[in-house]
């Protein structure tokens, strides 16, 4: 296992459309392992392969909540290969979203409250599930990454331009 570097705005790779995975190879398993390690280290609740510069339709997720007593949560690692949203509710919900590729920036985003998702697991088995709450928000955020879409794309042009400018400046400063 290894922690991989998470790419950050304005890296153009974040705008790539990721390619479907044809076969779950040893390399794919290794990538998923590394994505979990990278996601837990960050820490984040989801990660798309493009965030570690691999343009493949692969997502890792763990929505495990810390218990009330503040003890460690039981991990619930999940892998989604070639995920697709096959239906979305009319009803929407608003969540404050963040993204590991846009560090320390949080804004409310409105999305369908419930979605039905179809995906393949690491054993090649196809699943269909209904998602709601944080799961629905997170899977939509991650599938957006596979299509080169970021949550800031749903904000006003003013807010989006402001955050893009801030990260572009920071990247320029880091170059010097
Ligand atoms: O860690 C993350 N938290 C989060 C919170 C609200 C909505 C979406 C997310 S996903 C994010 C990790 C990430 O950037 N995944 O692409
Ligand atoms: Ni993200």
Asked if 142 and 46 count as a contact pair (C-beta separation under 8 A), the reply is yes
Instruction: Calculate the CA 175 to chain-centre distance.
Output: 27
pTM here?
0.96
**How many angstroms separate the alpha carbon of residue 41 from the centre of ligand 1?**
14
Look up 132 and say whether it is catalytic: no
Percent of the chain with pLDDT over 90: 91
What H or E segment, with its residue span, contains residue 165? helix 157-175
More confident residue, 84 or 74: 84
Task: Determine the Cα–Cα distance for residues 4 and 30; give it in Å rounded to an integer.
Answer: 11
Q: 152: pLDDT confidence band, cut at 50, 70 and 90?
A: very high
pLDDT at 68 over 70: no
Which of 46, 63, 105, 155, when mutated, tests ligand 1's pocket best, judged by the most ligand atoms within 8 Å of its CB?
A: 46
Over range 40-59, report the average pLDDT: 97
Over range 66-93, report the average pLDDT: 88
């Amino acid at each position: 296992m290894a922690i991989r570097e998470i790419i950050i705005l304005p890296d153009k790779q974040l705008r790539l459309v990721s390619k479907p995975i044809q076969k779950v190879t040893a390399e794919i398993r290794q990538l998923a392992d590394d994505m979990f390690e990278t996601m837990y280290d960050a820490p984040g609740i989801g990660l798309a392969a493009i965030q570690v510069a691999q343009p493949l339709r692969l997502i890792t997720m763990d929505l495990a909540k810390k218990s009330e007593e503040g003890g460690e949560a039981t991990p619930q690692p999940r892998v989604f290969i070639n995920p697709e949203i096959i239906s979305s509710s009319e009803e929407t919900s608003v969540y404050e979203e963040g993204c590991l590729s846009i560090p320390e920036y949080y804004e409310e985003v409105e999305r369908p409250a419930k979605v039905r998702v179809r995906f393949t697991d690491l054993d090649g088995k196809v699943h269909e599930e209904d998602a709601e709450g944080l799961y629905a928000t997170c899977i939509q955020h991650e599938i957006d990454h596979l299509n080169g879409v970021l949550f800031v794309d749903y904000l006003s042009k003013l807010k989006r331009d402001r955050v893009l400018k801030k990260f572009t400046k920071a990247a320029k400063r880091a170059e010097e």
